Amino acid sequence: METFLKADIFFFVTTIAVVLLTIILSIIMFYLISILRYIRHISQIAKDQAEELSDDIDDLREEIKTKGASLASIFDFMGHFTRKRASGGKRKK
């Protein structure tokens, strides 16, 4: 009779442990799924922004190719102006 009592106690304790473990794992899985959904959302936003940035850079490259000569002359002018100013260029009196 004592063996049956020990077996019943063992199964009762084991059942409680399994139920608690299942509840804990369910809570962990719920939060893990929520986190993974949020990460997927963030990665989709990053992907969209990267595509927009890539398009902007392509547009900028095309604009530089078409207007390269005028941009080069502007940069040369600005470089000439800053070099004079940095070297203490001549002032008109």
- Which whole number is the average pLDDT over 45-63? 89
Residue 22 lies in a domain: yes
pTM over 0.75: no
Given this model, what pLDDT does residue 93 score?
A: 45
Give the count of domains, the chain: 1
Residue 8 lies in a domain: yes
Domain enclosing residue 66, as ranges: 2-76
Residue 10 lies in a domain: yes
Distances (CA, A) of 42 to 19, 38, 70: 35, 6, 41
More confident residue, 38 or 90: 38
- Please enumerate in sequence order all residues whose Cβ is within 8 A of that of 71, keeping only pairs 6 or more positions apart, or say none: 64
Task: Look at residue 92 and give its three-state secondary structure.
Answer: coil
How much is the mean pLDDT over the chain? 82
- Which whole number is the average pLDDT over 28-54? 96
In the chain, % of residues over pLDDT 70: 73
Q: How far apart are CA 12 and CA 18, in angstroms?
A: 10
DSSP classification of residue 88: T
Residue 18 lies in a domain: yes
